[in-house]
Structures are given as C-alpha cells and as structure tokens.
Structure 1
Amino acid sequence: MKVVLAGGGTAGHIEPALATAEAVRRADPGAEVTLLGTERGLETRLVPERGYELALIPPVPLPRRPSPDLLRLPMRVRSAVRQTTDVLRAKEAEVLVGFGGYVALPAYLAARRAGVPIVVHEANAKPGLANRVGARFTTFVGVATPAITLPHAQHVGIPLRRSIALLDRPASQAEGRAFFGLDPSLPTLLVFGGSQGARRINEAVDGSLDQLLEAGFQVLHAVGPARAEAASAASRPGYVPVPYVDRMDLAYAAADLAVCRAGAITCAELAAVGLPAVYVPLPHGNGEQRFNALPTVSAGGGVLVADGELTPSRLAAEVTPLLGDRARLDAMGAAAATLGRRDADDRLVDMVRRAAAQKSVGG
C-alpha cells in the first residue's frame, strides 16, 4: 500500500496517526507511509523520531468566530490543497487517512480532487469541522466511541501506541514503580495534564500533597516542562515530580489511580489499560473533553470534576477514599476496561485496506 496520513498539529492527532502507521507496516511491511504536517506542529519532532517521512503543507487554522483570518481562509485553503495534491500525486497515494485538525481539511479536499479514497478517523466526542467535511466524501469513517455522530461511522476505538495497547498493568506494576523510584508497596496516584502540564491540576496537587502523603499514599506527578526546575527541588519521599513522562506505559503500570485532563487519547488509553481516573476536563473549546470522559464516568470507571471546582481540598476529598479502597479501585478499573479498545489500530488498518482496494478496483 501507498498511504498518506493527515494527522499533524497536536499530539491528539499525531499519536493515532503514528499508531496507524505502525499498524500499516505490520500488515504490509513493504507499505510506503507518508505523514502530512505543518512546520508549527509537534509532528516535526515526533514523526522523524519514529522513522516516517513527513511532508509539510501550510497550516489552515479554522477561525471559531468572524475575524480578518476568516476572510483569508479561502486563499489559504486553496494554497494548502494545491500543495497537498502535489504530495498525493508524487507519492502515488492509494488512500488518504485523516485524523482531523489543521492538516486534515486541505488533505480531504485534495484527495477528493485527485480521486484518492479517503478514510476518516474521529477521536473526539464532538467532531471538528475538518472531519465533518471529510465524512461527506467517504463511506470509511472510524470513530472512537459509538456515541460519535458522523455519516457512515463505525466504532473502531482510537489507535494507541503498542506499548500501551499491549500493557498488562498488574504484571508490570513492579517494573513501573522501580522505573520511577517509587515504593513498591504504597497506593500510587499518577497526576498528569498533557505534554505541557496543567496549572489548575498542579496547584491542586501542591495544596493537597501533605495530606495525601500523610494518608500513606505516593504521588508520581508530571508537572510540565515549564516547572521542571522547581519540580526537581520539590522531590521528597513519596513525591516524584517529573517534567514529562516518556514511558506512559510504565506510569500507567505504576499507578492505582490517575488525576488528569480528558483528552480523547487520555480517555482511550486509560480505558484500554483499565486505570480508574479523576477527570478534570479542560474548560475550553467546545467542551469536548467533558464529553470524552462521560462514557467512562457513566460506566463507573472514573469521576468527573469541573476545572473550576478543583481545589486542593476537593482533590484530597476525591482521591483519598479511592486510594484507600482496593476493592473499589479494582471495580472501577474493570468498568473502565469494558470501554477500552486495544485493537483499534488493526481495525482502522482493515478499513484502510478496504478503501485502497476500492481504488484498485476502480482504477
């Protein structure tokens, strides 16, 4: 297969694209895989690190409200579509897989112009504009949960890194705790707020830390790169602050409970590995993070706390009874796991192969 993946911009778009790229290569070791991105996205670092070719196109940010940028949008779209069409033709693409975001809209329009079959993957509970457009051009639409509404949607889950999709948390707990220098026997709270950390969550942990440690718990806290120096100075027995977690699989294995945002990837990973969580949705955008967490929370696999309500006392009140109740944690983890999909990458690749076969048949 010759596949082009449009998944640039944020980690929420890039990671599923890279997981899909790896699954394409497993299914077809000779496959030619190219990822589309922009100069301003994380893909400029992540894609080459994983060994994939990256083709850059101009970013096309979609204004949320009337502004001068809205007037310039048609010209930007035309330029990006033209350059993306050149990439598709140069790569002789047999299928275009889009994951939403800045890169996906021109990619869908270019693929339609070039006659390249399209596969759409939507991770968020509320689909963005790019995927709402792309879903009109294809019958191959994969979604993270059954509740996502798009034409021709099929529930496949979210493609995840293999280290997480294949993780056996209980079997890897000792390794995870040793990796981060944690006590092998203490109930463990994992706190993270995305690649940059989350100020509200960090402040709540700072204010409740003494109470958590006195209760006999330990905390692995990804504070974000901006707080790296301060985090190092704050380290003490029972509290392990780190700027960023590169081995999320081992962090999940080490933890009994998480406190985190509710990005689509985070929700999918926690469900796949069966780790209960206190979700604190980012209060921006169209409210999609709250909707991302709701299926797990409704199933009993997590707790939802509004960002504005996350004080140190509220954090301690939510976390302390959970970490002190092994049976409840196990029940919550089992409930979360009922929503997890560990084979989403293979499911999506099956869709990609069917789309590519359609082009082959159609000539």
Structure 2
Amino acid sequence: MANKRIVLTGGGSAGHVMVNLAIIPTLQEEGWQIDYIGSKTGIERDLIENIHDVSYHAISTGKLRRYMSKENFKDPFKVLTGIAQAFRILGKVKPSVIFSKGGFVSVPVLIAGRMRGLPAVVHESDITPGLANKLAMPFAKKILTTFPETMNYVSADKAEWVGAVVRTELLEGNKQNGLSYANLPGKKPVLLIMGGSGGAQRINGAVRQSLSELTEQFEIIHICGKNNIDATVQQQNYAQFEYIQDELPDVLAATSYVLSRAGSNAIFEFLALKKPMLLIPLSRQASRGDQILNANSFKKQGYAHVLEEEELSSDTLKQALQKLRNEASIVQDNMRKYQTQEAKDQVIQVIKDNAKASK
C-alpha cells in the first residue's frame, strides 16, 4: 500500500494551479498529507501558501523562453538549482507520488522525482502541450488530458483523457452575496470580465473606452489583474478588482455573461456553470497559440463566441457583446448538451493507482 503523502506542483499562472486547488479538498478528506513545490514569487505561492495543512516549498526556476533574451543564459543555472532543491525536498518529505499541473516550476520537480524513483502524473489542460509539459512528460508515468484532441500530441501508452476538472465550490455560490461584494444593484445582467491571472492590457483598455455604453446594458465586474486597477475610472454599475479568490463562486453566481481570455481551466468552469462567454484568446504574437485552439474548439461546439485580439477595438467589443447577448439562449442550449464527467474523481483515482507502494 502507498503511503498517503503527495507532492503537488505547477505554477506561473493561475491556470497551472486551479486543478490542484480542485483536488486538494478531496485529498485532505481522504487523509493525504500534501506538500506543494512552487516558485518563490509566482501566483501559486499566493494561492496555496495559506491553505490549511498544505506545506509550501519554494524552489528556483527558469522561464524556458522560446525567444532570444539575455536571461536565457541564466535560466539553465536556475533550473539546475531548482532540481537540486526539489531533490532535497523530495528526499525529506518522501511522497509516494507527484502530481504536476505544468508551468516552468514543474520541470525541476519532475526531473528530481525521476532521480528519486518517484512516479509522477502530469495533467495537460490545453489542446497542445505547453513547452514546460513537453519537457516534463518524459519523466511522467501517466499523462492526463482535458481535451480529447490532446491525445494526438502525447505518448499513447501513457495518456488518458479525463475531461475538465472543475472546482466544486464554484457551483455553490450565492448570487446576492456576489452582488453585495461588488456593490452592484442587480437590476441589469452582470458581465464578468477576466483577463487571466496577469490581467490583459488590451482588454482592459477596450473595456474602459467603452464603459459608458457598456454600463447602459450591463452591470460590470472587472477583474483587471495585479496593479491594473485604474482609480480614475469611477462609473456607476462598474466594479474593478485586481483578483478575486474566495468570493469568486458568489461572483459567478451573480454573473450572466463572461468576457474572458481562453485559458482552458477557466473556460471549462464557465461551461460547467452554463455562462455564455465571449473569448478573446491571446494572440500568436504573445503566446504559442494554445488559447486560439481552445477558443476555436469552444466556438465550433457552440459554447462561446470568439473575437480575435487583432480585431479588438471599442466598437468591435460592443458589437460582439451585443451579439452574444442576442444569441445567449442558443449558446446555453449547446452548453446543456455538454456531458460533464467525474473528472476530479478520475484524476484522484489515477494518482492512487500510480502511487509508489510503501516499503
């Protein structure tokens, strides 16, 4: 029988943490001791460090850039340092299994895990694996995917499609509490705007240019990212926040429509909640194109409308939101056809099945 101690890892963006957040309560209920290895300053530290009975360990990590930068010469040394640190942590806590959600911090952890002879399970949220997961997957015993299309990009003998893991608490929000938190009257439909954990300057700018017209139609909750609040914007029916964590279930319960980037974890959560969404994926100039694939998959299935970032302006934003509002019932009909799987239970079962037996 495996000892019930697990190391979770993943970070760099909120998307690389959300599945971990979803499975932590169930693991704790089942008596697992949980350690989390993340970076020293990443968002994963903010999201994880204060969770009761989860021990957070910070390591050095490089960014593994696809472009030329003088930092590229430093990053291999940071990764090597991170491997050494992760190796020591794993030797100290002695887990029976590692679960990785991806991001740059996961690479040293999985390499160190292989050096320690520990089994690792990797979860890939996007249609095509990111660079960090591509580097980490050879060190994994099992690879789990959110999209069935991802099975074409990973090793068939390791891969298993489990579907989207959705945080249970998001389904349990209170609409009135969400309106009160944002100090909104609730007389118009609520538009939730999310630009990802780092915010989205292009989206923030287009929204603020259109604010007087948009607030005629909607009450707006704008999650604009760290240090992106504009204190000069004082508009009725508009509330802005850097980030929302504990109150997010209530805010989502109050939400009628969503304007968002197209990170996989977030859009599957909106799908589970049947929230019509307008997606503005990160452009290929700013990313590897994974959000474009995610958004187009949802558009094809009728779960979302899509506005390309290159086409984003104050006018196109207003037009796209009006179209979404007009066709919301069609979008929700399509969403109701989506068959949610018990993905969280499957993930936890795979973790158990692959955990190393105690000696």
Q: TM-score range by the shorter chain?
A: 0.7 to 0.9
Structure number having the greater helix percentage: 1
- Kindly provide the CA deviation profile for residues 33-61 of structure 1, in whole angstroms up to 9, marking residues without a partner as x: 10001212123322222121111211132
| Structure 1 match to 2:270 | 270
Q: TM-score, normalised by structure 2?
A: 0.87
Q: Which residue of 1 aligns with 2:231?
A: 230
Aligned to 1:60: 62
Give the equivalent residue in structure 1 for 2:212. Answer: 210
Matched residues in 1 for 2:225 and 2:88: separation?
A: 38
Counterpart position of 1:153:
159
**Cα distance 1:319–1:346, how it changes in 2: closer, same or farther (>3 A)?**
same
Letter in 1 for 2:244: V
Find out whether 1:20 has 2:19 as its counterpart. no
Aligned to 1:8: 11
Q: How many residues align?
A: 348
Change beyond 3 A, Cα 1:197–1:129: closer
Question: What RMSD, in angstroms, separates the aligned Cα atoms of the two structures?
Answer: 2.4
1:257 alignment counterpart: 257
**What letter matches 1:117 in structure 2?**
P
Q: 1:15 corresponds to which letter in structure 2? A: M
One-letter identity of the residue aligned with 1:181: N
Question: Does the 8 Å CA contact 1:256/1:329 hold for their aligned counterparts?
Answer: no
**Equivalent in the alignment of 2:106:** 104
Deviation sequence 1:99-157 (CA, Å, 0-9, x none): 11121111111111111011011112221233223333344211121111222322223
Aligned-residue sequence identity (percent) comes to: 27
C-alpha contact (below 8 Å) 2:7/2:37 kept by paired residues = yes
Contact 1:36–1:55, Cα closer than 8 Å, also in 2: yes
Structure 1: runs of 5+ lacking an equivalent:
none
Residues 90 and 337 (structure 1 numbering): CA distance in 2 closer, same or farther, change over 3 Å? Answer: farther
Post-superposition offset of 1:225 = 4.3
Following superposition of structure 1 onto structure 2, how do residues 68-83 of structure 1 map, counting pairs within 5 Å? 69-83=71-85
Between the aligned partners of 1:274 and 1:306, the Cα distance in structure 2 is 22
Deviation at 1:95, TM superposition (A): 0.3
Contact 1:235–1:241 (8 Å) recurs in 2: no
Distance 1:193 1:154, change over 3 A: same
Query: Where does residue 87 of structure 1 map in the other structure?
Result: 89
2:241 corresponds in structure 1 to 242
How has the CA–CA distance of structure 1 residues 19 and 308 changed in structure 2, closer, same or farther, with 3 Å as cutoff?
same
Question: Which position in structure 2 is the counterpart of 1:320?
Answer: 322
* 1:8–1:36 contact (8 Å) kept in structure 2: no
Decide which moves more: 244-253 or 86-95: 244-253
Question: How many angstroms does 1:286 deviate by?
Answer: 0.4
Moved >6 Å (runs of 4+): none
Shift of 1:251: 2.1
Secondary structure at the residue paired with 1:147? helix
Report SS of the residue matched to 2:8: strand
> Which residue of the partner structure matches residue 350 of structure 2?
351
Per-residue deviation at 1:188? 2.3
Counterparts of 1:184 and 1:206, CA distance in 2: 21
